[in-house]
Chain A
Amino acid sequence: MEAFQHLLTGFGHALSLEYLAYAFVGCTLGTLVGVLPGLGPAAGTAILIPLTFKLDPTGAIIMLAAIYYGAMYGGTITSVLINVPGEAASVITCIDGHAMAKQGRGGTALGIAAIGSFIGGIVATIALVVVAPPLARLGLLFGPPEFFALMVLGLSLVTGLAGRSLLAALLMTIIGLVLAMIGIDPVRGAPRFTFGVPELYDGVGFIPVVMGLFGISEILLMAESPAREVIKTKLTGLLPSREEWRSSLRAIWRGTGIGFALGLIPGIGSIIPTFMAYIAEKRLSKTPERFGQGAIEGVAAPETANNAYANAALIPFFTLGIPSSPTIAVLMGAFIINGLTPGPFLFQERPDLVWTVIASLFIGNVILLILNLPLVGLWARLLHIPYQYLCTGVLLFCVLGAYSLQQSVFDVWLMIVFGVIGYFFRKLDLPLAPLVLGLILGPFIEKSMRTSLEMSGGDFSIFATRPLCVTLLVAAVVVLAAAALRLVPARVREAESV
C-alpha cells in the first residue's frame, strides 16, 4: 500500500538523530508544560513558537506536536498527586486518580495512565495512517445541529456521574450551566451577567475555576485534617493486581474507541472525551460504587481517551486543515508561519514532511512512555514530604498557575473564591464533576443551537430533519428515561418502607 511505503520513508527521516532529539525535547517540555497548570498546551505551545523559528519546518512541527501530546500526560501527574488538574482535560482524572494517591497507590495510577495513554495514542496514529481521508469526511457530518444534539447527550450522561443523590448532581449541573452563561452571548453579541466587570466578558476562566474547586479545596481540607488526608500506607507495589489489569485493559480499549471517535469531530475539545469515557466505564462496570473511591478504571479510561483524542484530532487537521482545539490552532499557526498550509494540498505537495511528522507521532508516543514510566515512582514519592511543605508548595503552585495564565490577578481571586466554594461543597457532599460538565458544555449547547437556528432562519425543524441529529437526541432521551425509571422502584420501595 502506498501509505505504508510513505510511512516507512517517513520513519527513515524521523529516526534521524536531529529529529529524534526534537521529539524528545518536545515530549519533555510538553510534560513540563502540562504539569504547570497556568501554562497548558495552548499557551505552552505559543511560548515555544519563537523557538521554532530557528529550526527547519519539519523539525519545528515535530517538536510542537510532541509538546502538544506530551502536555496531555503532564496534566495527569498533578491531577493524581495533588488534585490540581494540570490542564482542562485532566479534570476527571482527579476524581479516582487522587483517591488512589491518597491510598498510597499514586504510582499505580500514574503507571496505568502512562500505559493507557500510550495505547490510545498509538492506535489513533495507526488509524490516522490507514483510514485518514475517508474517516475525516465522516467528521464533517457533524454540523451545528449535530453538535447541539451531542452536547445534550453529553449532558444527559450526567445522570451516570450522580453518586448517591441525583438531585444534588442535577443541581450542580445547572449551576455549571448558568455559570457558563457569564460573558458575551451568542444572540446579541453583548455581555451577559458580567455586571460591569470587564474581566468577565469572556466568561469565568475555566482553569482558575477548576483549580480552585479541586486544588484549593484540597489543600484547605488537607490543612484542616492532615492526619486523615495524607497517605498512611507505604508505597506498595507499583503494579496493578491481575484483576485490575483485566478491568483496566477493558477500560483502555473502550477509552481508545471513544477518544478516537470523538477526535474525528472537529471542535469538540479534549474534556468531553474524557468525561464520556469515564461515565461509560462507570455505567458498564459491575461495581460502579467503587468509582470515586479509587477505581483504577476511573483513571485508565479518561487518560486513554485523552491521548486517543489528541492524536485523532490531528486527523481533521492534517487531512482537512481544520483545527479542533486552540492548541491545534497554535500548531496550525506554526505551520503557516513556516509557509505551509495543512490540508489535502499538503499531503500532495509535501508528502515527505507530512509522513515524517506522522512517523514522529509514533516515536513520540514511545518516547513519552519511556520518559514517564520510570519516573512514576519518583513522582509518587512527592506525596510523602511533610504535609506543611506539600500544602504550601501546592498553594504556591496554584497561585502561579492561575496568575501566569494571563498575567492577571483577577484569575487568582477567581480561583480563591471557587476554592472556598469547593471546600464547602465537598463538605456538604455536593459533587463537583457535574458542575464542571455543565460549565464546559454550556457554551457549546447554546452557541450550536443559535448557529443552527441562524442556518435554518429560525426554523426548529432543522433538529428533526437531520438523521444524525435526530439519532443523538433520541439517545439522550433514552438515557434520561432510563435514569428516571431507575428512580421509580427506589421511590416505591421507600414509600413502602415508611
Chain B
Amino acid sequence: MKSASRLIVGMFALIAAAPAFAGKHDFPNKPLRMMIAFAAGGSTDIGARIVASIAEKDFKQPIVVVNRGGAGGQVGWTELSRQRADGYSIGFINLPATNTVVLDPERKAIFKIEDFVPIINQVLDPGVVYVRADSPYKTMKDLIEAARKSPNTIRTATTGILSDDHLAILMVEESAPGSAFRIVHLAGGADQQRELLAGNIDVAFDNVGGWTPRVRAKEFRALAVLDPQRSKFLPDVPTMRELGYPKVVSNSTRGIAGPKGIPAPVVKHLETVFKKAMESPEHLEKLEAAGLTVRIMVGEEYAKYYRETHEKARHYTEWAKKRPHR
C-alpha cells in the first residue's frame, strides 16, 4: 500500500476512534437491543414494540427491536442467553414456552432456566377454548362429555408442540378423567382460525389475544377461559373454575428478561423504567386495542412466578412426552 493511502486510513482511524475516548456515563449510554424470539407481526412482537416505543423516551436511548424467530422461540432464547450481561441486551421470554424448551430433553436446549434473570412481566394472556360458531358443542361440558364418549376423535388444535395450549389440553384431560382429545399441532392462532373455519379441526385451544373481535362477530364461540377470573375481553365466557375444574389454569405470559449476571442496579433501573412505561395510559390503551391483557409482575413476584411455572410445566411436559399420540 502506498504511504499516502496508509496516511488516509490512519486519519480515518483516529477520527472515528475519538468518541471512544469521550468517557462513559450512566446506563444506558448507547442503544438497547430487545430480542423477540418470534416473527414480526405476532402478538409478542406487537406488545414488545409498543412498550419499547414508550420506554425509549425515558431511557433517552433508542431500543432496537430485533426479531430472531424460529424453532418455537428456541433460536431467539438461545441467542439471548449468550448475550453480554451488561443490560444492553434484553429480550422477551414467554412462559411456559421457554420452560418447555428447557424441559424437553429432545430439544437439546443449551440454556437452563437459571440462565435468565427475569426483569418484568408485561402480558398474561389466559388460555381459551374456541369452537366455530355453528359447532355442536355449545358449552365446555358438551365438549368434555363428547371427549369422554368418543376419546381421541375430537380434533383439537394447539399452536405448537409443547405450547401452553398443548399443556392446557393435558390439564383438561387430567381434570376430567376418561376424556381424550385428538391433538393437532398447528403453527399459530391464524392457522387455527383458518382450519376451524374450514372444518378441518373441531376445537382450538389458544389465548384471548387475536380472537376477540371475531368472537364478537359471531364467527367463533369461546367455551371457557382457563384463568381464575373472567377475561374483560370475553365477559360472558365462564372460567374453568366456575365450571368445576379449578386446577385447569393455563396462560401464556410475555415478559422481559436478560442473560444472567446483569448487575443488580442495572436490573433495578430497567424494572423502574419499563414499569412506568407499562403503566402509562398509552401502553394500556394500545395493548387493550390489540386484545392483550396487561399483568405487570416485577421483582420477587415475577421471580416466584417464574419458578412456579417451571415446576408446573415440568409435570405436563413429562406426561406429553410419554403420551402416544402427542
Contact = CB atoms under 8 A, between A and B. Distances in A.
Chains A and B touch (C-beta atoms under 8 A apart): yes
B200 A144 contact: yes
Nearest to A194: B108
Interface in B45-84: 45-46, 49-50, 53, 66-72, 74-75, 78-79
B195 A330 contact: no
Most chain A CB neighbours (cut-off 10 Å) among B41, B53, B182, B289? B41
B20 to A, nearest CB: 21
A202 B190 contact: no
Interface string A15-50: 000000000000000000000000000110110011
Contact of A333 (B40, B70, B106, B185): B40
Given A201-B74, A333-B42, A343-B214, A143 B190 contact: no
A140 B197 contact: yes
B193 interface: yes
A203 B69 CA distance: 11
Interface string B224-240: 00000000000000000
Contacts of B71: 183-184, 191, 201-202
A42 B49 contact: no
A346 to B, nearest CB: 8
B307 to A, nearest CB: 24
B259 to A, nearest CB: 14
Interface in B186-220: 186, 190-191, 193-195, 197-198, 200-201, 210, 213-214, 216-217, 219
B185 A326 contact: no
Contacts of A458: 325
B293 to A, nearest CB: 14
A199 interface: yes
B106 A189 contact: yes
Interface in A372-431: 406-407
Interface residues of A, number: 53
Nearest to B77: A198
Nearest to B182: A457
Nearest to B289: A339
A329 B290 contact: no
A341 interface: yes
Contacts of A338: 289
Nearest to A466: B200
A257 interface: no
Interface string B286-318: 100111000000000000000000000000000
Contacts of A329: 39-42, 190
B67 A189 contact: no
A331 interface: yes
Interface stretch (A86-94, A288-296, A316-324, A477-485): A316-324
Nearest to B153: A457
B148 interface: no
Given A143-B200, A330-B40, A189 B161 contact: yes
B162 A333 contact: no
Contact of B66 (A199, A407, A455): A407
Contacts of A406: 66, 68
A140 B75 CA distance: 32
B168 interface: no
A332 B41 contact: yes
A451 interface: yes
29 contacts: A42-B40, A46-B67, A140-B197, A143-B198, A144-B195, A188-B161, A190-B107, A191-B106, A196-B108, A201-B71, A203-B70, A322-B190, A322-B194, A326-B41, A329-B39, A329-B41, A329-B42, A329-B190, A333-B42, A336-B46, A336-B290, A337-B290, A339-B289, A341-B214, A345-B217, A451-B185, A454-B182, A455-B182, A458-B325
Given A198-B79, A323-B41, A336-B289, 14 more contacts: A46-B45, A183-B70, A189-B160, A190-B108, A202-B69, A322-B194, A326-B40, A333-B42, A336-B46, A336-B290, A339-B290, A341-B213, A343-B214, A455-B201
Q: What are the 9 closest A-B residue pairs judged by CB atoms, nearest first? A: A202-B70, A333-B41, A189-B161, A190-B106, A46-B40, A339-B289, A330-B41, A341-B213, A329-B41
